[in-house]
Structure 1
Amino acid sequence: MRIKFLSIIASFFMVSFVITSCLDNDNEVNYSPDATIRAFELDTIGYGVNYKFTIDQVSRLIYNVDSLPVNADTIINSILIKTLTTASGIVTMKDQNDQDSIVNINDSIDLTKYVNATEKNNFLVLKVWAPNMEVQNEYKVNIRMHTMVPDSLSWGDKPIAENPAGITAQKQKLVTLGDNILLFTQNSDKVYSTTIPAGSPSDRLNYGQSWDSKNADLPEGADVTSIIRFADKLYLLTENKKIYNSNDGLTWTEDNVLTPDGATVTNLITSFSNSDGSNHKNVNGIASVIEKDNKKYFSFAEQKETGWNITTSTEVVPAEFPTNNLSADVYATESGTLNAIVVGNTQGLDSKKDTATVVWASEDGKAWIPMEIPSNNNCPKLVDPSIIHYNDAFYICGKETKDDAKGFQKFYTSPTLLVWKGVDRMFMLPGILPPVKLEGGVIQYPYSEFSFKGKEANYTMVVDRNHYIWMVGGQGIDKIWRGRVNKLGFLIQ
């Protein structure tokens, strides 16, 4: 960056002062003592992104609100200061000889040495000169930059907590309800919870290390894997096909509304709610499978202002539809409608044909279609599969049954629900640590002792409102992992 020496500008002010004095000794000119920076902005970074800078006038600190991308050092090593507004227009910084020299914003500057300056105490110091040339203020500039790869799923190097239920072989279920994450265990009257603090995903929120234990009055024969959330209530199904609901997960009341006359509910699939995102069709209700006259049908209980309205399909549920340990997610499409997706364990199918985990999808909870095409790119058959719509893609994980690859192996992803591929980098299972380069260029792929990789443990998974993925293991991995794609915690993604 080219620097123009302060002495030239100072001489100009001195000459101006002398001329003014000679022309009229009776008129005194008072120059402003304002030595503040009013605006600071860098040129665009990356794909034309502007990063806002905050000026703390009390501490005279300038910093970008959201950190720059992790690879931005190749951009800011030669970048323009787009805006630098002061009363006098004179700002100086130290040159190589430690002398005050004028900053010329028309020339590029290397800001890499000032990245994360707060940690290194190595700030870019800008001295602002007031128009009267008597008052000067120094501002420190901190260029904040992420140290994480934006699209990488980060779980940390160890679990965030122990499973409060301990080493258990029982089925488990994680659900979110209001400001809490609840953990249920089959055949247990204990419910464990952790609080989601107020704030947005870009806030540096840290939670989940401690879980409270409370006694719950679960109904007899409650199937915790059937628990779903609709609006501000939880619903579950019992072994004798009765539905119960709860406002807090602790006290449960039998629900006589959702079951059609002359039928029983065999599965709670998922719910549609305005809280799930853009819902232009205003679909609000609970999707289920009901049994009547020894045949199963899809059913949807829609909540209206006047009460519940139940619609039952006339077509029999296909035998390929999952029957137990269902995992569902609901997401908003770009057109402003809600879509639901579900996977689960199937029963009674020809093992030679039942070789893939098939996703079933619905736009209204009344009709469900299998998202499959004849292909070699299906998601493999998994035991206890879980599905999420996350970061604009779909992900499935579960336990594999191949002779050479049992237990958890990897996530599978698809942009369309039709063609799936295994993920071998960036979006990994918890406990698979970043690769380490050893001497001689050898790459080592370390695992945590609590990694899900290769384990066949019972588990449960949920995503909270801050985009954190929670995975809880039972027998074999009695730990809780919390992970998030890094950029989903950035203010600017």
Structure 2
Amino acid sequence: MRIKFLSVILSFLLMSIAISSCLDSDENYEYSSDATIRAFGIDTITKGVYYKFTIDQLKREIYNVDSLPMGADSIIKRILIDTLTVTGWVTSGLNDTVFNMNDSVDLRKPIKLKVHAADGITTREYTIKVNVHTQDPDSLIWREMPSLPASPASGKQRSVVLNEDLLVYTSTTTAYRTSVSNPASIQWGNLITISGLPSDAKLTSIINFDNRLYTTAENGKAFYSDNGTNWEEMDMQGMYMVTFLAGIPADEVTGSENMLTGIFAKDGKNFFCAKSAGETTWKEGEEVPSDFPLKEIYSTVFTNASGIKQTVVVGNVEETVEATIPWFSKDGLVWADMSTPTDFSCPAMKNPAIVYYGSQFHMMGGEFKTIYSSLAGIAWNESADKFRYASEKVIIKGDEDEEETIEYESLFEGKGDYSLAIDKNHYIWIVWNQDGSVWRGRLNKLGFKQQ
């Protein structure tokens, strides 16, 4: 028993010596030399929007790719940095004062932060830059582009976007083409030759559906093209096509597929028709009302309050009208007019074009004096001052007792017939028949990466 007890005592003595030895020795701790900023962010801006910041460790720069909205200078004059992840500590200013995240900072100009590693030796300096838009997001800005090399000989033309190209058909055998993939470089090049279209093909009825172009001819035949240059006749199974209307996109809510819609004639009457992309058989719809547009048709798509996509069309009608009335459909077989009391209707226009653009409907065309806008496509008003055609400022001098006033006169007024198309970058292209001039416009905020 004594031997066992002695062994226990010796064990405790050895442990005590070891612990004592450790306590008496000098400890060597190695502190981190990491002096990088791992995460950075500022407080939310207007409407609670949080802007992501990029950290370039090589250049030691921190910036936001998506610029803050115009007018945010007043907000970032005094704003909190709410995210700043480092392993050591941060100083700022000429005196290297320890940075306090509870203090607001002025980010209207670039600032510098110095990161100190935990070892107290290594430091890195970062430049913080906050980008702010200098453009008014709600302004529609126009720019004159290179004109067509020659104006359309026939006096009629059609503009349509197909994939990365803007095609302007000047006749049934000729067209101009330019790429819209690079908005900074627009070149029309030489006139291209179109094959497969008859001389009586309706240029103004060309539409794009599912990256394929369609049109009709005066004799009721229909044609399609995958590249915009070579056209082939469609097998319409004896149907006499009056015109194509629009492509109706697939809808997840209703479960409907992409639909090509049009109007065909039978027994002296016109009827709506539609078919999906994979079908050959057309479905017959209702009879076409007498005030439904049949020529120079433009279409647009919007999503209603129920989340269902609807296609809206306008165009020229064969009878005299007092207002420009859009028509909408969910399946292409039944169309309903979006009429409204006269006080709220869109004035009658020759060759109207409708676009759903910037969360509103806009109607262009006519004499090109004024753009008309509507939230739901029913009640129309003159568009806001910022959303106008390219204009020149005119100062009107008043009488002795009146101040000068400023008005804007549209540069497009009186330019005549035109065609319009919108590309994937939200640019509105207008090509004029009379002189072949080309203008491109875009709502500023639709060019911003963060809306």
Shorter-chain TM band: 0.7 to 0.9
Cα shift at 1:339: 1.2
Q: Which of 246, 249, 257 is the aligned partner of 1:283?
A: 257
Q: Distance in 1 between matches of 2:153 and 2:80?
A: 59
**CA-atom RMSD, angstroms?**
2.6
Q: Taking every aligned residue pair, what percent have the same amino acid on both sides?
A: 36
1:289–1:298 contact (8 Å) kept in structure 2: yes
Q: Distance in 2 between matches of 1:77 and 1:282?
A: 51
Aligned residue in 1 for 2:45: 45
Q: Distance in 2 between matches of 1:462 and 1:334?
A: 26
Cα shift at 1:100: 2.2
Aligned residue in 2 for 1:372: 339
Residues 47/273 of structure 1: CA separation in 2 closer, same or farther (3 Å cut)? closer
Q: Deviations over 1:345-396 (max 9, x none)?
A: 11234xxxx2100111111100111111333110000000001111221111
**AA paired with 1:312?**
E
Specify the structure having the higher radius of gyration (Cα): 2
Q: Which of 315, 318, 321 is the aligned partner of 1:344?
A: 315
Q: Distance in 2 between matches of 1:396 and 1:190?
A: 29
**AA paired with 1:141?**
I
Q: Distance in 1 between matches of 2:50 and 2:209?
A: 39
Q: Which of 147, 156, 159 is the aligned partner of 2:134?
A: 147
1:170 has 2:163 as partner: no
Cα shift at 1:442: 5.7
Aligned residue in 1 for 2:271: 297
Aligned residue in 2 for 1:8: none
Q: Distance in 2 between matches of 1:105 and 1:99?
A: 17
1:169–1:475 contact (8 Å) kept in structure 2: no
Q: TM-score, normalised by structure 1?
A: 0.80
Q: Which of 219, 233, 236 is the aligned partner of 1:240?
A: 219
2:139–2:387 contact (8 Å) kept in structure 1: yes
1:100 has 2:84 as partner: no
Aligned residue in 2 for 1:230: 209
Aligned residue in 1 for 2:445: 487
2:90–2:99 contact (8 Å) kept in structure 1: yes
Q: Distance in 1 between matches of 2:360 and 2:90?
A: 48
1:467 match: secondary structure:
coil
Residues 303/39 of structure 1: CA separation in 2 closer, same or farther (3 Å cut)? closer
Residues 433/108 of structure 1: CA separation in 2 closer, same or farther (3 Å cut)? farther
1:225 match: secondary structure:
helix
Q: Which of 432, 446, 450 is the aligned partner of 2:391?
A: 432
Q: Deviations over 1:74-115 (max 9, x none)?
A: 111111111111111x21222xxx332221110111112x1x
Q: Deviations over 1:247-287 (max 9, x none)?
A: 11111111123x5x4x411121112234xx75743233322
Q: Distance in 1 between matches of 2:255 and 2:289?
A: 26
Q: Distance in 2 between matches of 1:420 and 1:411?
A: 10
Cα shift at 1:163: 2.6
1:138 match: secondary structure:
strand
1:126–1:141 contact (8 Å) kept in structure 2: yes
Q: Distance in 1 between matches of 2:444 and 2:147?
A: 23
Residues 33/489 of structure 1: CA separation in 2 closer, same or farther (3 Å cut)? same
Aligned residue in 2 for 1:272: 248
Q: Distance in 1 between matches of 2:344 and 2:59?
A: 57
Aligned residue in 1 for 2:12: none
**AA paired with 1:61?**
E
Cα shift at 1:64: 0.8
Aligned residue in 1 for 2:169: 184
Cα shift at 1:236: 0.9
Q: Distance in 2 between matches of 1:433 and 1:111?
A: 36
Cα shift at 1:191: 1.9
Cα shift at 1:195: 2.2
**AA paired with 2:342?**
S
Residues 397/51 of structure 1: CA separation in 2 closer, same or farther (3 Å cut)? same
Residues 278/159 of structure 1: CA separation in 2 closer, same or farther (3 Å cut)? farther
Residues 77/24 of structure 1: CA separation in 2 closer, same or farther (3 Å cut)? farther
Q: Distance in 2 between matches of 1:434 and 1:104?
A: 50
Aligned residue in 2 for 1:195: 179
Q: Distance in 1 between matches of 2:147 and 2:39?
A: 48
**AA paired with 1:465?**
K
Cα shift at 1:336: 4.5
Q: Which of 371, 381, 384 is the aligned partner of 2:348?
A: 381
Residues 241/99 of structure 1: CA separation in 2 closer, same or farther (3 Å cut)? same
1:141 match: secondary structure:
strand
1:389 match: secondary structure:
strand
Residues 285/331 of structure 1: CA separation in 2 closer, same or farther (3 Å cut)? same
Q: Which of 250, 256, 262 is the aligned partner of 2:229?
A: 250
Cα shift at 1:219: 2.4
Aligned residue in 1 for 2:192: 214
Q: Which of 306, 321, 336 is the aligned partner of 2:292?
A: 321
Q: Distance in 1 between matches of 2:119 and 2:69?
A: 40
Q: Distance in 2 between matches of 1:167 and 1:267?
A: 22
1:74 match: secondary structure:
helix
Structure 2 unpaired stretches of 5+: 1-22
Q: Distance in 1 between matches of 2:405 and 2:55?
A: 44
1:31 match: secondary structure:
coil
- Structural mapping, 1:404-419, within 5 Å: 407-419=367-379
Q: TM-score, normalised by structure 2?
A: 0.87
1:309 has 2:281 as partner: yes
Cα shift at 1:441: 9.2
Q: Distance in 2 between matches of 1:239 and 1:87?
A: 76
1:394 has 2:361 as partner: yes
Aligned residue in 2 for 1:471: 430
Cα shift at 1:225: 0.5
Structure 1 unpaired stretches of 5+: 1-22, 115-122, 198-204, 400-406
2:172–2:198 contact (8 Å) kept in structure 1: no
Aligned residue in 1 for 2:79: 79
1:77–1:111 contact (8 Å) kept in structure 2: yes
Aligned residue in 1 for 2:13: none
Aligned residue in 2 for 1:136: 123
Q: Distance in 2 between matches of 1:208 and 1:380?
A: 37
Cα shift at 1:154: 1.9
**AA paired with 1:343?**
V
Q: Distance in 2 between matches of 1:36 and 1:254?
A: 65
**AA paired with 2:258?**
N
Cα shift at 1:126: 1.1
